[in-house]
Copies of this chain bind each other. A is one copy, B any other.
Amino acid sequence: MSKPNKTTGPEARLPKGFRDIGASEIRVTQAMIEKIRAVYERYGFEPLETPAIEFTDALGKFLPDQDRPNAGVFSFQDEDETWMSLRYDLTAPLARHVAENYATLPKPFRRYATGSVFRNEKPGPGRFRQFTQFDADTVGTDNIAADAEMCMLAADTLEALGIARGDYVVKVNSRKVLDGILESVGIDLADAHKRLAVLRSLDKMDKFKKQDIALLLGTGRKDESGDFTKGAGLDSKQIDAVIAFATQTEIETPEGGVVTTRVGGFEITERYREGIFDLVKIQNLVRAAGYGKDRIRLDMSVVRGLEYYTGPVFEAELTFQVNDDDGNPVRFGSVGGGGRYDDLVSRFTGEKVPATGFSIGVSRLQAALTALGKTGADAATGPVVVLVMDKADIGTYQRLTQTLRQAGIRAEMYLGSSGMKAQMKYADKRNSPCVVIQGGDERADGKVTLKDLIEGAKAAAAIKDNKEWKAARPAQITVAEAEMVARVREILARHAPAATGTES
């Protein structure tokens, strides 16, 4: 394998933006997925799986990248030339499923789903073209309590994953509030370009200084690298008002009551008022259920990307900082989000089926948990390795191996063709807790030697030379074959990771 083939053969590589995932990361992901699943189940959601492939027209085009409305999706043609695409999220397939099965579904329909989604976009650091989402949605109700529930679900999920209260926040806003702000200051909502420029500026409010937001809303801004971002072209009075609107926090207005009628000198619109009432209802519901500002709070600068949102939008953010490899502080920011999308099912049926949902970016959240040291990823223990001392006797080694396995012990016989030293190296590389050795003498006596590799490594560090080693043979015992299982269990128990943590 050392020399690459110079004549033929494809190159062994993946397309950019895709990656292989190894054992330790997979184990962490699985544990995360199970914790998320437990919370979603507790909220009464039922699992649903839809395939990775859908008709392109059924998925529609709702990707965040407004500038390239036809890009972003992997598409191909079926035999009859119909276009099919890989799903880019789990929401569009849900809308198709609901439209297809509406008559037989319980209403409201509450489902969760997890799986890979695919974006045909430019990959970057930590940004892949295939990644995992975990969604919950309630379809078939305009009850704002369904939105409030999504926020509580988000908070409970993050805590179940080990993120402390205070280290995250679920921010709530409404598309109606955002559009209402734009209307109030006199921006034509039909001017898609201007609307998007304003929303994008607001979206940066948690990362940029206020004066930079003002530049983005106005004439534009040059960043440190010299790159210039064109501004939204608002005048200074509009800019001040938009910022004043968007920096409001807790709303003290009673539900259905009177809201401030002027902000920054501009009069509010009916759309804005409706949006504010939705937010007040969400606020009151989550407070009644005991969720304070530290967990769920209004934030009128939250935008969310997907174009299909029609009402409340949510964003789950991690608020703590960690240092990156260069020691620079990094904030993880958004690890999930969602919102109300009342028009996604009606695309198919023409009838309104209001819906709301929340989606967790599993991979992104996992990166954050790893940085926090909250993955509970104790180095998994490798298998017990049964060494092959004499190739003519592999039947015997195979039998020893099966005996261990049948006792529920993770075990394997060495399957390579190398000698003793390489076999011990292999066992180390596999994180094996112990090896089973049976040479000719031991066989004749019906015995096996067990070598505790973890104790052995410690002992080796304390022993000076090979001679002393051979005399002491630390962490090694020879026992009757019939005792093998019991004594291996003792070694495993000695090195078992301490029982960890509490599941909420």
Residues of chain A having any CB pair with chain B under 8 Å: 1-15, 18-23, 26-27, 41-44, 46-55, 57-58, 60, 74-76, 78, 82, 84, 86, 96-97, 99-103, 106-108, 110-111, 116, 118, 129-130, 138, 140-143, 145-146, 148-149, 152, 156, 284-285, 288-290, 346-351, 353, 382-383, 385, 394-396, 398-399, 401-402, 405, 408-413, 415-417, 426, 429-430
Please tell me if the beta carbons of A58 and B11 are within 8 angstroms of each other in the complex: yes
Among B7, B143, B412, contact of A43 (Cβ-Cβ < 8 Å): B412
Please tell me if the beta carbons of A5 and B53 are within 8 angstroms of each other in the complex: no
Please tell me if the beta carbons of B58 and A285 are within 8 angstroms of each other in the complex: no
Tell me the minimal C-beta distance from A433 to chain B in angstroms: 12
Residues of B contacting A50 with CB < 8 Å?
14, 20-21
Residues of B contacting A149 with CB < 8 Å?
398, 412-413, 415
Residues of B contacting A116 with CB < 8 Å?
52
Please tell me if the beta carbons of A41 and B130 are within 8 angstroms of each other in the complex: no
- A19 to B103 CA separation, bound complex (whole angstroms): 18
Closest residue of chain B to A413 (Cβ to Cβ) is: B145
Please tell me if the beta carbons of B351 and A3 are within 8 angstroms of each other in the complex: yes
Please tell me if the beta carbons of A350 and B15 are within 8 angstroms of each other in the complex: no
Residues of B contacting A285 with CB < 8 Å?
394-395, 398
Residues of B contacting A102 with CB < 8 Å?
1
Please tell me if the beta carbons of B410 and A41 are within 8 angstroms of each other in the complex: yes
- A351 to B8 CA separation, bound complex (whole angstroms): 12
Copies in the complex: 2
With contact pairs A12-B96, A350-B7 given, residues A289 and B402 touching in the complex (Cβ less than 8 Å): yes
Please tell me if the beta carbons of A55 and B107 are within 8 angstroms of each other in the complex: no
Closest residue of chain B to A156 (Cβ to Cβ) is: B405
Name 20 interchain pairs, CB-CB below 8 A, sorted by A.
A1-B349, A2-B351, A3-B350, A9-B348, A11-B58, A12-B97, A12-B348, A12-B349, A13-B96, A20-B97, A21-B48, A42-B405, A44-B383, A76-B76, A106-B429, A106-B430, A110-B412, A138-B415, A143-B417, A288-B398
- A418 to B398 CA separation, bound complex (whole angstroms): 65
Please tell me if the beta carbons of A146 and B415 are within 8 angstroms of each other in the complex: yes
- A4 to B20 CA separation, bound complex (whole angstroms): 44
Please tell me if the beta carbons of B76 and A75 are within 8 angstroms of each other in the complex: yes
Please tell me if the beta carbons of A78 and B15 are within 8 angstroms of each other in the complex: yes
Please tell me if the beta carbons of B53 and A74 are within 8 angstroms of each other in the complex: yes
Please tell me if the beta carbons of A15 and B383 are within 8 angstroms of each other in the complex: no
- A335 to B4 CA separation, bound complex (whole angstroms): 37
Known: A4-B349, A11-B55, A142-B417. 7 other contacts (CB 8 A): A2-B351, A10-B348, A13-B58, A44-B412, A53-B74, A141-B416, A145-B394
Tell me the minimal C-beta distance from A330 to chain B in angstroms: 26
With contact pairs A97-B20, A145-B394, A416-B108 given, residues A15 and B47 touching in the complex (Cβ less than 8 Å): no
Tell me the minimal C-beta distance from A68 to chain B in angstroms: 12
Please tell me if the beta carbons of A396 and B288 are within 8 angstroms of each other in the complex: yes
Please tell me if the beta carbons of B288 and A382 are within 8 angstroms of each other in the complex: no
Please tell me if the beta carbons of B350 and A8 are within 8 angstroms of each other in the complex: yes
Tell me the minimal C-beta distance from A38 to chain B in angstroms: 9
Closest residue of chain B to A385 (Cβ to Cβ) is: B44
Residues of B contacting A156 with CB < 8 Å?
405
Please tell me if the beta carbons of B23 and A47 are within 8 angstroms of each other in the complex: yes
Please tell me if the beta carbons of A12 and B99 are within 8 angstroms of each other in the complex: yes
With contact pairs A96-B12, A146-B415, A413-B149 given, residues A52 and B118 touching in the complex (Cβ less than 8 Å): yes
- A2 to B350 CA separation, bound complex (whole angstroms): 10
- A491 to B140 CA separation, bound complex (whole angstroms): 29
Tell me the minimal C-beta distance from A491 to chain B in angstroms: 16
Residues of B contacting A148 with CB < 8 Å?
398
Among B54, B76, B111, B411, contact of A14 (Cβ-Cβ < 8 Å): B54
- A101 to B46 CA separation, bound complex (whole angstroms): 40
Tell me the minimal C-beta distance from A7 to chain B in angstroms: 7
With contact pairs A290-B399, A290-B402 given, residues A48 and B23 touching in the complex (Cβ less than 8 Å): yes
6 pairs of A and B residues whose beta carbons are closest in the complex: A5-B350, A44-B412, A44-B383, A288-B395, A12-B99, A10-B57
Residues of B contacting A347 with CB < 8 Å?
9-10
Closest residue of chain B to A144 (Cβ to Cβ) is: B394
Please tell me if the beta carbons of A20 and B415 are within 8 angstroms of each other in the complex: no
Residues of B contacting A97 with CB < 8 Å?
12, 20
Please tell me if the beta carbons of A130 and B353 are within 8 angstroms of each other in the complex: no
Tell me the minimal C-beta distance from A1 to chain B in angstroms: 5
Closest residue of chain B to A384 (Cβ to Cβ) is: B44
- A182 to B137 CA separation, bound complex (whole angstroms): 59
Please tell me if the beta carbons of A53 and B9 are within 8 angstroms of each other in the complex: no
